[in-house]
Amino acid sequence: MSRQPARVSAQHVARWTRTFALLVVLVPLLPGTAHAIQLKWSSGATDLSFASDTLCRLVVQADSAEVTLPGSWRLQWVADSSGIQFSALDPTLACLADTAKVDSIAPPSTPADSTANQVTAYFCSAGSSLASTAYFLVDLVGGSKGRLRVVALNPADTTQVIESNEVKLNGGIDGDYGPAILSASRTHQGDQYLAAATGVGLSRLTAVTVGSPGGAWQAPLLIVQQTETTLLATATIAAPLPSAVIQVSSVSGSSVSAPLAPDALLPPYGPPPFPSYIDASGYIRPKDFAFFYGGLGHFHLFYTRHNTKLSVCGPQADQNARKFTHVSGDLSLWSSQDTSFAVSASGWDSQHVWAPTIVQNGNTYFMFYTGVNANDDQSIGFVTTQNINTNPIVWSSARTQVFTVESTSNHWALQTHPQQCRDPFVTQDPTDPRRWLMYYTANVAADSTWETVGVARSAPYSLTSWTDIGPLYMVDRHNNYSLKAESPHMFAHLNSNNTTSWWVFFTSDFAVMADRSASSPMDTTERYSNAHWDLINHRLYEHLTNHDPRVQFWNGSEYLKVFRWEYLAGFNAAVVDPCGTVVNPDSNGIWIRRLQWTPGVSSPDAFGLSPGVTAVEDAAHRDERRLGLSLTELRPGAGRASLTVELPAQMKAGLVVYDLLGRRVKNLARGEIPVGRTVFCWDGHDERGNIARNGVYFARLTSGVGERVVRIPLLR
């Protein structure tokens, strides 16, 4: 009989951590203490004596009051250099009885697991409920010594830890158990990130971090509260974080981790029918730009400032394109301009800065861009920031150059000066989420008069180390009939027939053009045929299902997907008179349209542009936008707080106060709440009428149109 994956209730998971004798974190077990989990050898003894190699059973059993074992537990041990090894039963035999047995053992799945010597055992038993008894098969070296125990969360109260008694090998050995995290959670309000953990051995931790499971990024956390079984740590993090792990280290160097849920992203507000951005100056033309959604309800535009007066009439043409502008907004209202990022005093980006592109990696935003030095050589590099929601943005002082024409494979790009390597577009590799792809423009060494798009790929979990894949010759002059192929970007689309199309957009001498591959976003093998890539024979607006003429004069474009919505943005060529005065200001901006797909039957889907969103979607966005929760009154010394809820309509909603560990303290409202503003008071007591301790609490509003959370500092 094989284990059925659907029988989750019959599966137990245990993790064990090998801890050497020098580790110093220990929860002492008091003599005579009752234990919800009993640990013993199959003989019934708690101390096993043996002189030769032996294979024995270690039994984990629920006591009579608990009836069944928890769904998961942690087995810890301290052993001498002989170590302890575990074996799995034949999976066809492990599931035949009500006693749970190990049917498979998984090695460490993350770098943190490897550091902690942590592996996972999967248990299986017959029946549909949790087992009351489980056992390990343990391989022991003759004469070896050690101690073992089991720790788990209390099923009746998961904020509490339960422990087994201790069992020994040949009388045991000195040394302390290492730390273990049994559960972890986080709250993230504004730029305050708070992680909470429950486990054992947490009182002597010296370092706590939050980061990606693979180690691609990491941010330190400050410990603000710790006991033997609980931990609170915080940091200032502005960016919404993806799925992460909390990793803790003890004074002995032992390290363990636990998963943390991703932050919930806010959906964007409903855009107006014809969203756009036009520089208020009337003569600054947005050129190559980045279109980015930060996950907090606002879009961001970063663009090259092109002064039409300088470039056309002024004697200081070289003073153009020396700054970026950043604005953010909901596509209807935009923030004031941030023009603080400019060329450096010297180095690879001292003359011009062009073509920004923004990516987020954990708690850090990377802005890649083209830098031009005093010799007019172009190259690609980046700066970083922790927060793009401030004005001005504080960028890193380091400006890291990562890609030049010398980086191209077999030097396919022209190497002579001034070197041409520009217009980066960086996106996560859709075929390998550990990596990133960078599309860029360079002149071709075989014929210096024409350009093509190249693609490079990052090393795993790195944005600083790049390997060039090569040129995409399908976008060169042999196919687009133009010497120019710049401002590239790429995205993937899953067609209605379950095939994937890889779209590469770029700008030619004529307009924005697009090419599609059914093979790979990095396919550099094709040049003249259309076996993998479509042959390019028309411009973007001719691709559109409605041949939308609004995009005819786009000089660059950007694709962005936010939740289920897809956008295509482009900047228009400015219409100016000989002295640089803009004749038609409306043509001098960035235009944003929704991308809509028409299903194909035997062919890939086709796309068109929509002027806006439907009335239903607009209404939903307006409702979410009008949802509000605010702390309107706080009385220090009295331990009381007033909260104002604002709803777009009468609806069912809930308002609950939680502590820092995520435990419910007081239910303030549940049921129908009227439209508009309603004030609720919290008297500083919990559900039982007990006075809540001084500290930080959170009030959470839940409704059918969204959620809101506010922080309540309670002082008496």
Task: Check residue 193 and give its pLDDT.
Answer: 92
What would the pLDDT profile of 617-638 be if each residue is shown by its tens digit? 334 444 445 678 888 777 666 6
Residue 501 belongs to some domain of the structure = yes
Same domain, 701 and 604: no
Band (pLDDT 50/70/90 cuts) for residue 547 is low
Q: Which of 85-94, 366-375, 420-429 has the lowest mean pLDDT?
A: 85-94
How much is the average pLDDT of 36-52?
A: 91
Same domain, 233 and 307: no
CATH of residue 683: 2.60.40.4070
Q: How far apart are CA 414 and CA 449, in angstroms?
A: 10
Examine the fold and report which residue of 563, 582, 616 is the final residue of a domain before the chain moves on: 616
- Name the residue among 214, 156, 152 with its Cα closest to residue 182: 152
43: left (phi over 0), alpha (psi -120 to 50) or beta: alpha
Q: Quick check: 101 pLDDT over 60? A: yes
More confident residue, 316 or 206: 206
Q: How far apart are CA 168 and CA 390, in angstroms?
A: 58
Q: Quick check: 111 pLDDT over 70? A: no
Task: Check residue 309 and give its pLDDT.
Answer: 73
Q: How far apart are CA 224 and CA 247, in angstroms?
A: 16
Token pair, residue 135, equals: 């056992």
Examine the fold and report which residue of 234, 260, 286 is the final residue of a domain before the chain moves on: 260
- Report the mean per-residue pLDDT for the chain: 80
Residue 313 belongs to some domain of the structure = yes
Residue 65 belongs to some domain of the structure = yes
Same domain, 209 and 345: no
Same domain, 379 and 510: yes
What would the pLDDT profile of 174-219 be if each residue is shown by its tens digit? 888 888 899 999 988 878 899 999 999 999 899 999 999 878 899 9
How much is the average pLDDT of 553-568?
A: 88
More confident residue, 129 or 28: 129
How much is the average pLDDT of 287-301?
A: 90
Residue 2 belongs to some domain of the structure = no
Hey, which of 350-359, 557-566, 689-698 has the most confident mean pLDDT?
350-359
Same domain, 555 and 634: no
Residue 265 belongs to some domain of the structure = no
Neighbours of 573 (CB within 10 A): 15
Same domain, 574 and 499: yes
Task: Check residue 227 and give its pLDDT.
Answer: 93
Q: Which of 9-23, 511-525, 583-597, 631-645 has the lowest mean pLDDT?
A: 9-23
Q: Quick check: 251 pLDDT over 90? A: no
Quick check: 661 and 159 in contact, CB under 8 A? yes
Q: What is the DSSP letter of 638?
A: T
Quick check: 487 and 507 in contact, CB under 8 A? yes
What would the pLDDT profile of 693-709 be if each residue is shown by its tens digit? 887 788 888 887 777 77
Residue 359 belongs to some domain of the structure = yes
Task: Check residue 534 and give its pLDDT.
Answer: 75
Longest dimension (CA), the chain: 97
More confident residue, 577 or 339: 339
Percent of the chain with pLDDT over 70: 78
Residue 37 belongs to some domain of the structure = yes
Task: Check residue 442 and give its pLDDT.
Answer: 95
Token pair, residue 548, equals: 């939308």
CATH of residue 225: 2.60.40.650
Q: How many domains are contained in the chain?
A: 4
What would the pLDDT profile of 399-449 be if each residue is shown by its tens digit? 999 999 999 998 999 999 999 999 999 999 988 988 999 999 999 998 777
How much is the average pLDDT of 98-119?
A: 63
Q: Which of 132-146, 276-290, 531-545, 550-564 has the lowest mean pLDDT?
A: 531-545
Hey, which of 94-98, 107-111, 290-294 has the most confident mean pLDDT?
290-294
Phi, psi values for residue 618, rounded to 5°: -60, -45
Full domain range(s) for residue 686: 627-714
Token pair, residue 64, equals: 């009579």
CATH of residue 54: 2.60.40
Same domain, 93 and 189: no
Examine the fold and report which residue of 616, 639, 662 is the final residue of a domain before the chain moves on: 616
Phi, psi values for residue 195, rounded to 5°: -110, 140
User: In angstroms, what CA-CA distances link 121 with 11, 180, 199, 201, 529?
Assistant: 10, 16, 19, 22, 53
Band (pLDDT 50/70/90 cuts) for residue 511 is confident
Predicted structure pTM score: 0.76
Q: What is the DSSP letter of 315?
A: S
Same domain, 255 and 298: no
Place of tokens 């592109």: 357
Same domain, 612 and 647: no
What would the pLDDT profile of 443-474 be if each residue is shown by its tens digit? 999 877 788 999 999 999 999 999 999 998 87
Phi, psi values for residue 10, rounded to 5°: -95, 5
Task: Check residue 265 and give its pLDDT.
Answer: 83
Q: Quick check: 94 pLDDT over 80? A: no
CATH of residue 593: 2.115.10.20
Do strands 85-87 and 486-494 pair parallel, antiparallel, or not at all (unpaired)?
unpaired
Task: Check residue 400 and give its pLDDT.
Answer: 97
Q: Where are the beta strands (DSSP E) in 546-623?
A: 554-562, 565-572, 589-598, 606-610
Same domain, 13 and 117: yes
Quick check: 299 and 569 in contact, CB under 8 A? no
How much is the average pLDDT of 9-14?
A: 34
More confident residue, 370 or 545: 370
Task: Check residue 573 and give its pLDDT.
Answer: 59
Band (pLDDT 50/70/90 cuts) for residue 31 is very low
Same domain, 252 and 334: no
How much is the average pLDDT of 305-323?
A: 72
Residue 269 belongs to some domain of the structure = no
Same domain, 444 and 487: yes
Place of tokens 């004798």: 21
Q: Quick check: 32 pLDDT over 70? A: no
Quick check: 506 and 466 in contact, CB under 8 A? no
Hey, which of 253-267, 287-301, 518-532 has the most confident mean pLDDT?
287-301
More confident residue, 680 or 610: 680
Q: Quick check: 22 pLDDT over 80? A: no
Task: Check residue 92 and give its pLDDT.
Answer: 63
